[in-house]
Structure 1
Amino acid sequence: MEAITIASTAADTADPAAGLRAVAALRRLTDTLELAQVEAGLAAGMGWREIAEHLGVTRQAVHKKYAKRVDPRLARHPRKRS
């Protein structure tokens, strides 16, 4: 199912069971996308603080959530940005 269709189903309150399943699917998709973007940010040289600012959370929150899920080389040695 496409993300737009899932979002539409999640917003429709006519069938709560289908809506709740769609919300769960969106949550899984969001988690997957967020992890990919955190890894991309680290690979691009962003630090935990900058990533956290873009996500609207604290540095500690993003580090706790992702430090053990990303490639350790990315988490420990971010590249210098020019």
Structure 2
Amino acid sequence: MNKIIIAFTSGIILGLLYAPAKGSNTRRKIANLGNDLKDRWNDVTDSVANRIDSIREGVDDLADRAVEKVESAQFTTPPRPF
């Protein structure tokens, strides 16, 4: 995914640099593009962090239920004769 973002960004920057526009406009467009990409990247990392937290909570709940089942099985299951 990083390669796609780098290629996309490079293509846009090269297109802006070769487009017939004033230098100040081109620099402003590049700065805006950089800010937009940074914002999108932050959104993606926030989304991934939220998903990781959600998965972690699910795993914790599952582990707690497993411990409860094991503990209840220890007290309800009679010992087996050998």
What TM-score do you get using the length of structure 1 for normalisation?
0.43
What TM-score do you get using the length of structure 2 for normalisation?
0.43
Structure index of larger Rg: 2
RCO comparison, higher one (Cα < 8 Å, 6+): 1
Query: Normalized per residue, which structure has more helix?
Result: 2
